[in-house]
Structure 1
Amino acid sequence: MASLGQARVRMGMIGGGKGAFIGRVHRLAAALDGDFELVCGSFSRDAENNRRTGALCGLSEQRVHGDWQALLATEAQLPVDRRMQMLIIATPNHLHVPIARAALDAGFHVMSEKPAGVSLAETRRLAETLEGSGRLYGLAHTYLGYPMVWQARDMVREGRIGALRKIHVEYPQGWLADRPETRGVKQAAWRTDPASTGISGCMADIGTHAFGLAEFISGQRIATLCAALGIHADGRQLDDDGDVLFRTAEGASGTLIASQVCTGEENALKIRLYGEAGALEWRQMEPNSLIHRVLHAPQTILRAGIDQPGLGTEARHRLRLPGGHPEGYLEALANLYKDFAEAIRQGRSGTAEGVPGIEAGLRGMAFIEAVTANQAGESKWTELDIDPSIQGGK
């Protein structure tokens, strides 16, 4: 919770109008610990939706703007103690970079939905803008806010499973199995439209979550990959399914599966990591448990909770409740917002500690371009094209 007498960070939002799932999730998560106050927004290109969303959020008509350009221009003219301090971007992918760069140039911190953009080239330009801005940039890889994900990360770094040999990560969904974009479902329509989402569908939308989770927990970078992408729905232009073999720079091998046509699946993100001395397994739909398998010994299950034994400092930092009171998706995103608020108050720039930032954005775009290039080309293996010298500010 925000300390007594500590002013809440003033935030604005672009996108996330009524009917858009992720916008409401961001607003709820940002509000959870009392660190943020929504002061303005441009929620939808539909004027009535925009007006209604602003009213539902308790905003005056003067702080609800017709488009993102008007929001940035108007907010920048307000007195420093009234204008927003940071901007949430919850739009289709093709607007992420243009809005983020304009917001940074106008002096606002940015929290963006993922992926960072629609190409590695434009995301590099965003990194350059960030480096000269003196502001923070965060990327909403929500699953990296779960306490037991951090617990797994620390256990790998502490050598609890030994040298890492193999990583299996998968994210099956089923919501695009019957072509909802043909029935007027907006969330499906833009995600299957190259003009809005870029060169990849499924891999950009949820494959990047699996990719980010694998690199975050393992502490290793995926260096080369071999991909097979598929389109199972007639008439669809972008991948709705894919399988990836990969190798890390440190020598581990692995598989990454992402699909949005696995009939009946919900959001079944899961990861298994195998080392010389043991293994770890975490499942997003059962996020409060972390399975630890040890060579020649019974497996143990670590449980989330502020009163639970065996948890490290980073996991405990992200817990709010005693064991047996499940914390989930909203709390995970709230953890990113809590750390982002702290970094704003500390006057930090570039990347907020504990929050995926521009490096995660660059890595994600490199992954998207590598899998699509490998699918289209003749090479068995494709390297991830990423310039480590462009990482944004500190």
Structure 2
Amino acid sequence: MSDAPLRVGIVGCGLIGRKRAEALRPQDHLVGCADIVPEAAERLAADFDGRACEGMTELLELEPQVLIVATSHDQLAPLAAQALDGGAHVFVEKPAGLSTAQVEQLSRVAERSSRLVKVGFNHRFHPGLARAAAEVHSGRHGELMHIRARYGHGGRPGYDREWRAQPARSGGGELVDQGMHLLDLVHWIAGPLPLHSALLRTHFWDTPVEDNAALILGEAHDRTAPWALLHVSWTEWKNTFSLEIYCRTAKLQVDGLVRSYGPQSLRIYHMKPELGPPELEEDTFSDDDVSWAAEWEHFAAALAGEVELLGSLADARYAWARVEDAYAGGPYARMREDIPR
């Protein structure tokens, strides 16, 4: 992997911006950062020996090679485009914008600028999920049949008053929040499955957005094609992550994302020719969340031309297309009418 140092800027100095700063390699340099809350930029700059900038213009004047965009969703695409026009490569957090239209527009800016854009889908870089995807793609367990996934948390007091519950800033509710990660994982493992059906509800939180979403993905008129069943929830009172992958001769199950989601494990249930109880192969992983650092290492290698990029604007566009399909024609369609295009 490339060890060439990178000059990095960060716009958006909250929780995720700080995680990204902590994931930089020792040889990388955070040259500057900016935030609508000046104190947040000042704290991050002080902790990582960078400059606190008043805005994007001052930040881009520092000539970062890469700009990390870790803001609310409504600012992701415009700030990423500004960074590209300023000559920087871009690492933009998921979902990279508020719509397929914004992602497509950003793709055109990236092509024009000849710069690389990475979308922050860090779940691909959890070791259990990375190994599960590699196992499926190897073909050693036979063809993929279907995927079942659950992901959820229970929010916190006042969650319904935060920006994630405001459609004009977030683009949607839990389907955008954690659903994007599941859609990206399914896309990575199974390919671009279409939306078959969706059920969205607002059960608990007093918001215009959904706090639960269930999606079925797969071709409606094909008896043997792969499919997926996803459920994401803001009413999961015990934080949960579970991904089950069913292949012809094995079931692969990843549970946990470390910390409040519990330790991560991968169980592979190998089916015998005579069926019956399967043979269990189990792997457990570090209690540390290594996904952020692994994703940044990957991006550095992609910038050096050493690997093909994982987590692209095309991947973000697929996820947004399925989200828009799920919202269309139902009780949440009006919520999307005021979304900036």
TM-score (norm 1): 0.75
CA–CA distance in structure 2, aligned partners of residues 27 and 167 of structure 1: 34
Find the residue that maps to 2:113 and give its secondary structure: coil
Q: Cα distance, 1:367 vs. partner?
A: 1.8
1:237 aligns with 2:237: no
Aligned-pair identity in percent equals 25
CA–CA distance in structure 2, aligned partners of residues 138 and 280 of structure 1: 28
CA–CA distance in structure 2, aligned partners of residues 368 and 255 of structure 1: 14
Q: Cα distance, 1:35 vs. partner?
A: 4.5
| Number of the residue aligned with 1:143 | 123
1:39 aligns with 2:39: no
Find the residue that maps to 1:375 and give its secondary structure: coil
CA–CA distance in structure 2, aligned partners of residues 67 and 39 of structure 1: 14
Going from structure 1 to structure 2, the CA distance change for 1:149 and 1:49 (only over 3 Å counts) comes to closer
- Preserved contact between residue 136 and residue 189 of structure 2 (Cα < 8 Å): yes
| Number of the residue aligned with 1:383 | none
1:365 aligns with 2:320: yes
| Number of the residue aligned with 1:384 | none
Matches within 5 A, 1:112-131: 112-131=92-111
| Number of the residue aligned with 1:258 | 232
Letter in 1 for 2:294: N
Cα-Cα RMSD: 2.4
| Number of the residue aligned with 1:180 | 159
Letter in 1 for 2:124: L
Find the residue that maps to 2:102 and give its secondary structure: helix
Letter in 2 for 1:155: E
1:66 aligns with 2:67: no
| Number of the residue aligned with 2:265 | 289
What does the per-residue CA deviation read over 1:86-135, in whole Å, with 9 as the maximum and x for residues that have no partner? 00011000011101111111110000111011011111111111122211
Number of aligned residue pairs: 322
CA–CA distance in structure 2, aligned partners of residues 23 and 282 of structure 1: 27
| Number of the residue aligned with 1:326 | 286
- Preserved contact between residue 70 and residue 93 of structure 2 (Cα < 8 Å): yes
Going from structure 1 to structure 2, the CA distance change for 1:52 and 1:151 (only over 3 Å counts) comes to closer
| Number of the residue aligned with 2:19 | 25
Q: Note the residue ranges of structure 2 that are not aligned, 5 or more in a row.
A: 334-341
CA–CA distance in structure 1, aligned partners of residues 2 and 76 of structure 2: 29
1:195 aligns with 2:163: no
1:15 aligns with 2:7: no
Find the residue that maps to 2:97 and give its secondary structure: coil
CA–CA distance in structure 2, aligned partners of residues 35 and 363 of structure 1: 34
Q: Cα distance, 1:71 vs. partner?
A: 2.0
| Number of the residue aligned with 1:342 | 301
What does the per-residue CA deviation read over 1:295-352, in whole Å, with 9 as the maximum and x for residues that have no partner? 2363322426xxxxxxxxxxxxxxxxxxxx71542x1121111121122234x8xxx6
Q: Cα distance, 1:197 vs. partner?
A: 0.7
Q: Cα distance, 1:57 vs. partner?
A: 2.6
CA–CA distance in structure 2, aligned partners of residues 360 and 99 of structure 1: 19
- Preserved contact between residue 160 and residue 205 of structure 2 (Cα < 8 Å): no
Q: Cα distance, 1:195 vs. partner?
A: 2.2
TM-score (norm 2): 0.86
- The farther-off stretch of 102-111 and 224-233 is 224-233
CA–CA distance in structure 2, aligned partners of residues 135 and 363 of structure 1: 21
- Preserved contact between residue 161 and residue 274 of structure 1 (Cα < 8 Å): no
What does the per-residue CA deviation read over 1:218-270, in whole Å, with 9 as the maximum and x for residues that have no partner? 3x22212311111123531111111112215881222110011222x22x222
Find the residue that maps to 2:194 and give its secondary structure: strand
Going from structure 1 to structure 2, the CA distance change for 1:341 and 1:221 (only over 3 Å counts) comes to same
CA–CA distance in structure 2, aligned partners of residues 204 and 261 of structure 1: 15
Q: Cα distance, 1:355 vs. partner?
A: 2.7
- Preserved contact between residue 228 and residue 375 of structure 1 (Cα < 8 Å): no
Letter in 2 for 1:128: R
1:269 aligns with 2:241: yes
CA–CA distance in structure 2, aligned partners of residues 35 and 327 of structure 1: 25
CA–CA distance in structure 2, aligned partners of residues 221 and 301 of structure 1: 29
- The farther-off stretch of 112-121 and 220-229 is 220-229
What does the per-residue CA deviation read over 1:50-99, in whole Å, with 9 as the maximum and x for residues that have no partner? 3233223322xxx3211224322x23xxxxxxx31000011000011101
Q: Note the residue ranges of structure 1 that are not aligned, 5 or more in a row.
A: 76-82, 183-188, 305-324, 379-394
Going from structure 1 to structure 2, the CA distance change for 1:2 and 1:128 (only over 3 Å counts) comes to closer
Q: Cα distance, 1:2 vs. partner?
A: 6.6
Q: Cα distance, 1:369 vs. partner?
A: 0.7
Letter in 1 for 2:217: F
